[in-house]
Every structure is written in structure tokens, then in C-alpha cells.
Amino acid sequence: MADFVIEATEGGEAAPAGEGGEDAVAHAEFGDKHSSLCKKLPLLTVNAGPRNAKAWQARLKQEYVAIIKLVKMNKANDEDWFSIQSNKIGTRWKGKCWIFLDALKYEFKMEFEIPVSYPATSPELCLPDLDGKTDKMYRGGKICLTDHFNPLWARNAPGFGIAHALVLGLATWMAVEIPDLIARGVVAHVDGATVIN
């Protein structure tokens, strides 16, 4: 399998990987926008991680379908906010995520690895450029998801996947933390580029 790249320009129709569970993500702490977007994503049905190579390929296919659907929904709503690609076996992911505030685009590198215990354990999403810049982050730039997202993930495993982590984990974290970092002068926008002080 070649590296798989997903961007806002991704083509083709994505079919749902699973059904049900719409009320599982109805938590006010994530906001109506993120919860309603997440409800539209397919729930994954294959309960396998990278250690089970054959079943992992089936799970990975469902992951790609869900991510492509998320990209399409974002594009249809003119709300693109990330691009992502995986290594050949789908265990390491990298890309960029961004947020627009006051008509300025703030862009950050994003990366994560699929944990050995996946999908029982959520991936640790990392924004390495912001390492040490906020209390809501662990060493290496891993964003804090322990209080709100990880319990929700545990209740919805194996149905949740990477797309769900991006919407309910990363997008929610960015919506709260990035404006604060900008207000404190930690993140700035200079000459069309994001600058981290």
C-alpha cells in the first residue's frame, strides 16, 4: 500500500463504514458544531489495531473512508482545516492543521502515531511547534485530551477512529487554545505566516 494522502481536494464518493450511535457524541462540552459534524461520520466496525496485520488493513480502509467523508463535509461547508497523510501501513500520520481568526490563517504541523492498544486507546495528537506553550499540552506537543475526549473515546471504542479524534479532539482543542495563545502573544501572524514566540 502506498502512502495515503488526504487533503481538501480529495475526490471520489465515501460510503459509510457503520451505522448508529448518534447520541454517543451529544456532549455539550464539544459544542454543537463539532458534535453535529461527528454524528455524520461513520462509526467503524472493525476492532483491530496494527498488531493484527490482516484485520488492521480492513480497519484502515474504514479509517480512510471516515477521513475522506470528513474532508468532503469540510469542503462542502467551506471549512477546510487540515491535511493529513499516513505512512504505508497507516501507523504514523502527519500533516497540517489550521484555524482562521480575524481573517488570518494560523497553521501548525500535526503528527501522531497509532498506539499499540488502538482502537481501545485514542491516538495522542501532537502539535510539535507548540510544545511547552500551554498548560493544556504534554511533553512533545501532545495536546491534552484526558479530561473530556478520552472518556468519550473509551465509551465509543471501537466505533471512533481518526476522523472522530480530529473533530472532537483536535478541532475542539484548537478552538479553545489557539485564540488564548494568540491573545497572550505566544502565537502571532507576521507577513502571512504563523510565528510562535
CA dist 167 and 193 (Å) reads: 24
Annotated catalytic residues are 144
Measured at the alpha carbon of residue 179, what is the angle toward residues 63 and 173, in degrees to the nearest 5? Answer: 30
Task: Return the amino acid letter for 105.
Answer: K
Q: To which H or E segment does residue 65 belong?
A: helix 53-76
109 touches 129 (CB < 8 A): yes
In terms of Cβ atoms closer than 10 Å to its own Cβ (0-12, 13-18, 19+), residue 174 is: buried
18 touches 159 (CB < 8 A): yes
Tell me the three state secondary structure of residue 43: coil
